[in-house]
Amino acid sequence: MSKKSDMRKLIVGVDPGLNCGLAVLTFDGAPVLIESQRGWSLTKLIERIVDLGEPSIISSDVSPAPSFLERLSKKLNAVLFEPAISMSVEEKHQMTRAYMERYNVKVKNIHEIDALAAALKAYQHYKNKFEQIDAKLKNVEGDLSPDNVKDLVVRGYSIARAVKFLRGLSASKTLTTVRSGFSQEERFRNLVKELEERLMLERERVRLLKDINRELHLKIKTLNAEIEKLKETLKNVRSEQTAQIRREREYRRLVEEITSLKSKISEQESQIEAYRQALAHFQRLSDLELKEGLTLLKPIESFTKDGLEKSFKLYNIKAGDSVFILDSSGGGSATAELLLRRGVRAIIARGAMSYQALEIFENYHVPVIPADKINIRWIEGLPYADPEEMKKLIREGKTMKASDKFEILKTILDDNLKELSDEKIKKQ
């Protein structure tokens, strides 16, 4: 074999760009090198790679592969591997994390992660085929290099053809060392056999090159179609000045959006701080409740949808809580149902409450205690009541009921009807 064929064959993952990432693996998947460098030129990158061995595969983490990798693979006479679809960030991190744990290697930045993910993607693509080659060579006589067989398979050979090709190369070298003691007829016979084998190998090579040529023609056709599409797109683009104006407008829009987002973040941070302070405040009040045996009446400023939503956010009204409605007017059955869905245990109400709301609370057995019937203590700006006093008022029936409202309204209506009847009699 030539010196080049004896070199270690490599899988090379590259993340091109201003900061270029490079990851080099053996055909067994073992790490050879993982590094990155700013401003890596194509020439310097090639020098770095060939110092490590002979690259068989140049791999990309995106599809289609960048033109930089196409040029690199051509310069190195390597196969360009690109995934069926571009790798997601999650897939790359998951794949590289497991690999780094297994081989105890570290990466310094995202460019090295992308390069390593590209190399691993190519390795996983060929892994089963490589394992088949290793198993096949155990049963094959001779001293064939597994890496050389794998290199040919990557380039399009079947395993059988690759083995046959490498055997032929080995045999041709053996023929050149045949002892000069052979007869002229034997030498001619051996020479003819050698030439026939070479012819067979060259025919195989020509067939493979035709296949590659066919694939390249298809790729050229695809690229030509893409070029035509790009030309059509370029026709639709106005002038460079218009494009520059659009970019400037987009830049201003993004700056404004960033400013707006920063403002929102600042507001959110202020709100979070307010919530932290409120939480600490409630913790102190909770300790006070336990100490003095009082129940917090979570305040609701107005018995409206907006008033309820505000209190839900401020005081985290939840199942088992007692609430104090400072203004009970304005709410109906829908408002009552909204409060009931929080699972409140009892309601202290200041002022008159609608018949519809009281009826809903009655149906769900939630007592509504008039504020003037109970002793309310204000501690650090929040109302409290004695739970035993609340239970006593509920037992004694000193709560607001829909039937009470109905009776009051009925009495008022009866009085009005009586007055109208009396006036009618007087007029007669």
- Domain membership of residue 214 (yes or no) is no
**CA–CA–CA angle 266, 300, 279 (5° rounding):** 45
- Domain membership of residue 176 (yes or no) is no
Q: Total structural domains in the chain? A: 2
- Domain membership of residue 181 (yes or no) is no
Verify cis geometry, omega within 30 degrees of 0, for the bond prior to 64. Answer: yes
- Domain membership of residue 184 (yes or no) is no
Do 341 and 373 meet the contact criterion of CB atoms below 8 Å apart? Answer: no
- Residue type, position 165, single letter: F
Please state, in angstroms and rounded to a whole number, the distance separating the CA atoms of residues 99 and 31: 9
Range of the domain at 134: 3-155
- Domain membership of residue 221 (yes or no) is no
- Domain membership of residue 415 (yes or no) is no
Please state, in angstroms and rounded to a whole number, the distance separating the CA atoms of residues 27 and 146: 9
Mark which of 115, 139, 155 sits at the end of a domain.
Answer: 155
- Domain membership of residue 93 (yes or no) is yes
- Domain membership of residue 199 (yes or no) is no
pTM above 0.75, yes or no: no
Please state, in angstroms and rounded to a whole number, the distance separating the CA atoms of residues 263 and 252: 16
- CA of residue 5 relative to chain centroid, distance: 43
Per-residue pLDDT of the chain (428 residues; tens, 9 = 90+): 444 445 789 999 999 999 999 999 999 999 999 999 999 999 999 999 999 999 999 999 999 999 999 999 999 999 999 999 999 999 999 999 999 999 999 999 999 999 999 999 999 999 999 999 999 988 877 778 899 999 999 998 999 898 888 887 765 554 444 444 445 666 567 667 767 766 776 676 667 667 667 777 787 888 888 888 887 777 776 667 677 788 888 888 888 888 888 888 888 888 888 778 777 776 766 666 666 688 899 999 999 999 999 999 988 899 999 999 999 988 899 999 999 999 999 999 998 888 889 999 999 999 999 999 999 999 888 899 999 998 998 888 888 876 665 555 654 465 567 667 767 766 66
Mark which of 155, 188, 218 sits at the end of a domain.
Answer: 155
The CATH number given to whatever domain includes residue 123 is 3.30.420.140
